[in-house]
Amino acid sequence: MRVVYRGDFDGTVCAAMLLELDMCDELIQVHPQDMQDRKVPIKGDDIICNLPYHPDCHMWFDHHTSEINRADFPSNFDGLARIAPSAARLVYEYFESELSLLGKYEDLVEEIDLYDSAILTLEQVQKPEGAILLAFLLDPRTGLGLKHDFNISNYQWSTQIPELLTMYSVEEILDMPDTQERIQRYQAMEAQASDFYAVNTYLDGNVIVSDLRGKQVPVGNRFLIYTLPTIKMGNISVRISDGKKGEFNMISVGHSIFNRTSKINVAEICQKYGGGGHMGAGACQVLLEDSDRILSEIIEACKE
């Protein structure tokens, strides 16, 4: 039985719990857009976690607003999909009768709820520790996957984490050499990342705009822009960056986690352009020739 999951912190812990339950003999890490575009072959015994639904799967766990509000939301499936702080929370709840096996994940699921809902303090953003630090390291938006000079690739490292979580604590995983290598890179580039976003970010009304196309983006967590003194008045961010191999652009939208006044439904905006997400965060991939137009439209849609 395969677990097909998104390789962020949430999807990783979903995979770890299913490994713990002996419901998995293969892990497949997948990008949400590839699932949405039906580029991933799904088998009848696959369990999908933190990704869009596929009708051929065995079980499905997801909490994204864009999926829950789909017009073709499936009426009958095994698993659990509803608006929740995290997909890991849904896996944990669904297998509540197996708490003798999953009880050790209780605190970790609570940390994921906070991270995935972006309920973080300024100190947690600027000086993350423990599970929050591991979450930033696993988050594709941090940028470690773009660095190719680690001892093992970031994909190799991240796909090890679910199994490691079944055997070791978060602190023990953070102390491992391959993780330490990433922590050191993350910490070394922290100041550089703040300077980079300060130069490449501006305020358009209430919208924080970062245009990173064609630029070497340093490693840094995605909430750093909300700590910049020049844009604190903004309450929602729009970021455009190069997609894989420069074949498309990625646009990410998110509510500020410190100025929580935006009422914009980010999932609805991103769905319009083939993406998805939550009320407060989402993303979409756009063709290069459409990027400027769509970026302008999204910025206007985020204005109050």
Task: Examine the domain organization and report whether 142 and 209 are in the same domain.
Answer: no
Cβ contacts of 266 within 8 Å, gap of 6 or more:
236, 253, 254, 255, 277, 278, 279, 280, 281, 282
Average pLDDT, the chain: 94
Task: Examine the domain organization and report whether 154 and 202 are in the same domain.
Answer: no
| pLDDT of the residue at 244 | 82
Task: Examine the domain organization and report whether 13 and 145 are in the same domain.
Answer: yes
Q: Is the dihedral of CA 236, 209, 269, 6 positive or negative?
A: negative
pLDDT > 90? residue 152: yes
Task: Examine the domain organization and report whether 202 and 179 are in the same domain.
Answer: no
Rounded mean pLDDT, 222-241: 91
Task: Examine the domain organization and report whether 30 and 174 are in the same domain.
Answer: yes
By residue range, what is the domain housing residue 255?
191-302
Q: Give me the number of domains the chain comprises.
A: 2
Contacts 24+ apart (CB under 8 A), 248-251: 248/285, 248/286, 248/287, 248/288, 249/213, 249/285, 249/286, 249/287, 249/288, 249/291, 250/283, 250/284, 250/285, 250/286, 251/275, 251/283, 251/284, 251/285, 251/286, 251/291, 251/294, 251/295, 251/298
| pLDDT of the residue at 48 | 98
Task: Examine the domain organization and report whether 165 and 46 are in the same domain.
Answer: yes
- CATH number, domain with residue 205: 3.10.310.30
Confidence of residue 108 (pLDDT cuts 50, 70, 90): very high
Task: Examine the domain organization and report whether 224 and 99 are in the same domain.
Answer: no
Confidence of residue 146 (pLDDT cuts 50, 70, 90): confident
Task: Examine the domain organization and report whether 160 and 196 are in the same domain.
Answer: no
pLDDT > 80? residue 99: no
Rounded mean pLDDT, 284-289: 96
How far is 170 from 162, CA to CA, in rounded Å? Answer: 11
Task: Examine the domain organization and report whether 153 and 275 are in the same domain.
Answer: no
pLDDT > 90? residue 132: yes
3-state secondary structure of 3: strand
Confidence of residue 203 (pLDDT cuts 50, 70, 90): very high
Task: Examine the domain organization and report whether 22 and 62 are in the same domain.
Answer: yes
Task: Examine the domain organization and report whether 15 and 153 are in the same domain.
Answer: yes
Rounded mean pLDDT, 216-236: 90
Rounded mean pLDDT, 52-68: 93
Q: Are strands 281-286 and 249-255 parallel, antiparallel or unpaired?
A: antiparallel
